[in-house]
Structure 1
């Protein structure tokens, strides 16, 4: 690393560094001009050695007491080494020497921002705007302060002002997307990026952010087109390939998604997320061996990848290896113990293994974490019903209805349980509610208890609602 760095520095700069280090070894005092000192300071900053860089600024300030640049550098280094008071003091001295130096106010603004003293940060950035030759970066810094203040509308104003000066500023484009996202203003975001692209059709960052906005509005076809433009302009744009893969998944185009995900490996090292996403696509295509291979790659790379541990369990479950699947579901739950999908899979595997009490416990967890999962309420009540626990089954569905008052499936199921319990009048009341909620789903009742097709009072009520 060091040799590579030395190669980047000019011979003059290198000689200055060697001469400085010789001076330190000899405990002597050599004179350096201002440019030499700047080179030596930059050398240590590049080497991530702020302590040595600070030591150089001491010599520089002593030899060049009227050069504000060294006091600013010193303040910057005090800031990164958490010596805030000294940083402020150095900036104060610099301001006395050269009050029109924009860097003084930019740095002071950044320090105040880090201390969450936002008003003082904004005041300093405003002063910097008056003195700086180019202001696009300062405008972006002001936007960051407003973001920290959670004033995203004002942040957008300053990001746009920054982009007016530098159309190529990728940071600005991404920050703008972030603010629109926080404010949930995807339509405004789309309008801005479309106008931006009209002015700069070769901005891959603008196409990428436009695609992300389409994606968030579930306009997946449009998102894919915009990702394609971003990739066309920047063919090594790994994030665009990855997000395009996600959009293809949303359209159930799993085979295409796999190819796109794999393309990211040409431009960045494979990561656990991408391996897991590929695994999920193979799983959706019922190619369980391939799915499991990619899930295993994912957890090997990142053992904390809960979705991949879960995926391995799903592939085993598909092959009716229920006992083995439990091990992997448990691994997933160790990492994310409030995930209702993981608990649902556990409940199902326990049920298939005949471990009914464990299945019931797991269903309680599913519904604790996701009380709006209609399928889970139905499945849980079925397990209870099959155990002859009719009253518990009906009480479970009643809880489900309280959490999902518009779910016709739950009302129809309640009718079946009430008939099984001999509570015919209550059953007919629930049947009316079910038919009012969704008459087309009345077939559910007969799927569950076919014998009810011969029940005159049920058929009579249904005929009133279903022509």
Structure 2
């Protein structure tokens, strides 16, 4: 690839400057060359070299406004805001129509959290600048700092009207639309943008993401296809396309797209995991397990990988292996309520009731308040003969489900078991009121209670009412 004359001159200037530093010979550079050298070192994060270049530059060009503005930029970078402001005021007295002065003043205001003032200064800069896109972009960023997403969006749109190729502005526009929950408006905007700039793979990718977000998966795939046609190494677009295919249950196509991401870069545990899930849904258990195993080999700390293998073995009713793998997941994240629930369910299937009870208790402790978790836990406590604990657990559950007949029937049964007939009748009355037909629960869960004449009479009496 041939370098342009500008690039060649730029590289020569850098080489010449670095050669000067090594030999200690003082060579002459014009002020613009110095500006490019200093900004290059700043971009590279080499602040010491940038400062050295600036010192030499100001010795050779003490009256250069451009270099003094670079000096201001470096002072702002070092948080020496008062010094920077003083120098800007001196420059303003000489060149009041230099847009860079207003931009740097705005930068100082922004650093001081004076974002509205920064916007005012940037609007003045608009009167004097040739680079409208850059200033609109800066205004958009200030509005973002103020959480004014609507004005930020307008500014980034104006930036793109000036410079269609500004990718950061494009990302920011989409971010604003999404934050404002304006997905359909964002889709309309991107379609108009693509009409003007049809070869923007970023725009196609963002359009695909938005279609995916509103569950328009066919449209999402079409957009991702264009993104990958423009850039056949666009890893993110292949990944998103695979996810959309999964949503449409087109698992072969999803696998193909996930495979492409692995060809483009090192295999990610996420892609391997999703491929395993796709193969499982296609009924190919051997390949599913192969990819699940590859997932945890790639990232042994990915708990989701261990859980995928756990679920695989649960579906095969191989609870011994499922238990081994759920313990692997819990070793990584032992505060995950869903993992504890799996642990409990697997132990219950293996008739390890004490371990199952412990699992349900931990699931609730970490925030699983779903009704079935409470009921499984209580039924195991009852099976273990821990009636008092079962009652306390149900009373806790009733705070979340105050009108749940399954909770009330169980409370009635347990109180009858403890011969606390007053409380038992109270809860049985509640249960029958909430769902009379479900009294069969008493027969299923509490056969001893069910045979009591008092209970049969109570139900019959309630039925007549």
Question: For the superposition of Structure 1 and Structure 2, which TM-score range results when normalised by the shorter chain?
Answer: 0.7 to 0.9
The residue that corresponds to 1:57 in the other structure is 54
Count of matched residue pairs: 453
Contact 1:102/1:129 (8 A) holds in 2: yes
User: Hey, what's the Cα distance between the residues in 2 that align with 1:87 and 1:336?
Assistant: 50
Contact 1:254/1:282 (8 A) holds in 2: yes
Contact 1:312/1:328 (8 A) holds in 2: yes
The residue that corresponds to 2:177 in the other structure is 180
Contact 1:67/1:97 (8 A) holds in 2: no
Unaligned runs of 5+ in 1: none
- Given the superposition, is the C-alpha separation of residues 198 and 16 from structure 1 closer, same or farther in structure 2, using an over 3 Å criterion? closer
- Given the superposition, is the C-alpha separation of residues 240 and 71 from structure 1 closer, same or farther in structure 2, using an over 3 Å criterion? same
- Given the superposition, is the C-alpha separation of residues 49 and 275 from structure 1 closer, same or farther in structure 2, using an over 3 Å criterion? same
Contact 2:391/2:411 (8 A) holds in 1: yes
Select the residue among 328, 340, 345 that pairs with 1:343.
340
Q: CA deviation at 1:54?
A: 1.8
The residue that corresponds to 1:314 in the other structure is 311
The residue that corresponds to 2:374 in the other structure is 377
- Given the superposition, is the C-alpha separation of residues 99 and 432 from structure 1 closer, same or farther in structure 2, using an over 3 Å criterion? same
Contact 2:344/2:359 (8 A) holds in 1: yes
Deviation track 1:167-211 (CA, whole Å, cap 9, x = no partner) reads 443322322222232233334333433454555555443443333
The residue that corresponds to 2:421 in the other structure is none
- Alignment of 1:427 with 2:424, yes or no, is no
- Alignment of 1:138 with 2:139, yes or no, is no
- Given the superposition, is the C-alpha separation of residues 16 and 385 from structure 1 closer, same or farther in structure 2, using an over 3 Å criterion? same
Q: Secondary structure at the match of 1:384?
A: helix
Q: Secondary structure at the match of 2:113?
A: coil
Q: CA deviation at 1:48?
A: 4.2
- Given the superposition, is the C-alpha separation of residues 16 and 251 from structure 1 closer, same or farther in structure 2, using an over 3 Å criterion? closer
- Given the superposition, is the C-alpha separation of residues 33 and 284 from structure 1 closer, same or farther in structure 2, using an over 3 Å criterion? same
Q: Secondary structure at the match of 1:51?
A: helix
Q: CA deviation at 1:289?
A: 4.7
User: Hey, what's the Cα distance between the residues in 1 that align with 2:426 and 2:92?
Assistant: 87
Select the residue among 145, 148, 152 that pairs with 2:149.
152
- Alignment of 1:243 with 2:243, yes or no, is no
The residue that corresponds to 1:127 in the other structure is 124
Unaligned runs of 5+ in 2: 417-423, 451-455
- Given the superposition, is the C-alpha separation of residues 443 and 293 from structure 1 closer, same or farther in structure 2, using an over 3 Å criterion? farther
- Given the superposition, is the C-alpha separation of residues 202 and 66 from structure 1 closer, same or farther in structure 2, using an over 3 Å criterion? same
Q: CA deviation at 1:350?
A: 3.6
Deviates more, 1:202-211 or 1:51-60: 202-211
User: Hey, what's the Cα distance between the residues in 1 that align with 2:61 and 2:389?
Assistant: 86
User: Hey, what's the Cα distance between the residues in 2 that align with 1:168 and 1:349?
Assistant: 55
The residue that corresponds to 1:273 in the other structure is 270
Q: CA deviation at 1:55?
A: 0.8
The residue that corresponds to 1:418 in the other structure is 412
User: Hey, what's the Cα distance between the residues in 1 that align with 2:322 and 2:122?
Assistant: 58
Q: Secondary structure at the match of 1:31?
A: coil
Within a 5 Å distance, the mapping from 1:394-413 to structure 2 comes to 396-404=393-401, 411-412=405-406
Q: Secondary structure at the match of 2:151?
A: helix
Q: CA deviation at 1:57?
A: 1.3
- Alignment of 1:32 with 2:29, yes or no, is yes
User: Hey, what's the Cα distance between the residues in 2 that align with 1:258 and 1:52?
Assistant: 50
Q: CA deviation at 1:352?
A: 4.0
Q: Secondary structure at the match of 2:130?
A: coil
User: Hey, what's the Cα distance between the residues in 1 that align with 2:463 and 2:254?
Assistant: 45
User: Hey, what's the Cα distance between the residues in 1 that align with 2:444 and 2:74?
Assistant: 73
Contact 1:401/1:411 (8 A) holds in 2: no
User: Hey, what's the Cα distance between the residues in 1 that align with 2:156 and 2:176?
Assistant: 10
The residue that corresponds to 1:170 in the other structure is 167
User: Hey, what's the Cα distance between the residues in 2 that align with 1:89 and 1:297?
Assistant: 61
The residue that corresponds to 1:104 in the other structure is 101
* TM-score, normalised with respect to structure 1: 0.78
- Given the superposition, is the C-alpha separation of residues 151 and 315 from structure 1 closer, same or farther in structure 2, using an over 3 Å criterion? same
Q: Secondary structure at the match of 1:208?
A: helix
User: Hey, what's the Cα distance between the residues in 2 that align with 1:192 and 1:102?
Assistant: 30
Within a 5 Å distance, the mapping from 1:245-264 to structure 2 comes to 245-264=242-261
- Given the superposition, is the C-alpha separation of residues 272 and 100 from structure 1 closer, same or farther in structure 2, using an over 3 Å criterion? farther
Larger radius of gyration: 2
Deviation track 1:51-107 (CA, whole Å, cap 9, x = no partner) reads 112211111112112222212223334444555555545544544443333233334
